[in-house]
Amino acid sequence: MESTQGRPARLRVGVIGPGRVGSVLAQALGRAGHKVVAAAAVSERSRSYVEERLPGARLMEPAQVVEASDLVLLTVPDDALADVAEGLAETGTDLRGTILVHAGGAHGYGVLAPATVAGALPLALHPAMTFTGRDEDIDRLADCAFGVTAPEQLRPIAEALVVEMGAEPVWIAEDKRTLYHAALAGGANHLVTLVADSAGLLQAAGVPEPGRMLAPMLSAALDNALRLGIHGLSGPVLRGDSGTVAGHIEQLRDNAPESVASYVELARLTADRAITAGLLKPEDAARLLDVLRR
């Protein structure tokens, strides 16, 4: 028989900010057997998410959502978390015993301090996943990890909630949250920019379907990077082909000057990592770095 130790009881769930992320997390908790009862939505898009994904939830004011719920998802933008938590506390909302969960990556539970002082139980549960607002978002939770940060006595509840949503809890210390989030944002967000930039350059070179050309190579490169780290590197920087790199920069200046700076900085970072790993010979590195400096 499955152990129930550390698992939260069936909870009434409310959502303040049921956008792309909040609506999916609430939906996942509903699938796990909790009851989504209330939501506070400002935008028309958020209200439509409630209607489509959380049909049992009533639209209410934030204070009313707290009063109606045992667990409240505070899924507002990261920079608004402190203000919303403070606002709930200052308006006299009864937060005692309410599990207050935010999903911001850059913050731990400390950002909820005003609500914690008022009696809330703070959890930071950040899904390491991108959300597009499409129906597949809920299914992607089953393949992702959550960065979990909470007071030590609440750790079992935090981790149990993540497991119930079908994901993997990974403990992140309070003082490491911003570093953790920088790693994820740098990897995911910048990857999209790099791929879009590559696709644009291929289109300019006359390739009719850039995505079709890029997909196999980029999939292999990602797999290599995840399995091998910098030892999965290939290409002209690794080979020390300074002439090829110089040609790239010249063509970018002529055809896509906005891409020159990022190309040079990433080539320099790649060279530095290759040198440190002993993959790039000193004499080749010297010629390459000279090209990049120029």
Give the model's pLDDT for residue 57: 96
Whole-number CA gyration radius for the chain: 24
- DSSP assignment letter at 77: -
How remote is the C-alpha of 118 from its chain's centroid? 29
CB 181 within 8 A of CB 172: no
Give the model's pLDDT for residue 39: 97
Distance CA(57)–CA(38), nearest Å, equals 4
Residues 6+ apart with CB under 8 A from 239: 284
Instruction: Please report, in tens digits, the pLDDT of each residue of the chain (294 residues total).
Output: 344 455 667 999 999 999 999 999 999 999 999 999 999 999 999 999 999 999 999 999 999 999 999 999 999 999 999 999 999 999 999 999 999 999 999 999 999 999 999 999 999 999 999 888 888 899 988 889 999 999 999 999 999 999 999 999 999 999 999 999 999 999 999 999 999 999 999 999 999 999 999 999 999 999 999 999 999 999 999 999 999 999 999 999 999 999 999 999 999 999 999 999 999 988 899 999 999 998
- Angle value at C-alpha 90, between 85 and 93, nearest 5 degrees: 80
Distance CA(232)–CA(167), nearest Å, equals 28
Q: Which of 30, 39, 17 is nearest to 141 (CA)?
A: 30
Burial 228-249 (b: 16+ CB within 10 A, else e): eeeeebeebbbbbbbeebbebb
CB 183 within 8 A of CB 145: no
The one-letter code for the residue type at 152 is E
Strand partners, 231: none
Q: How would you class 14 by CB atoms within 10 Å of its CB: exposed for 0-12, middle for 13-18, buried for 19 or more?
A: buried
Residue 149: in which H helix or E strand, if any? strand 145-149
Which stretches within 128-235 are classed as H helix?
A: 137-140, 155-164, 177-204, 210-228
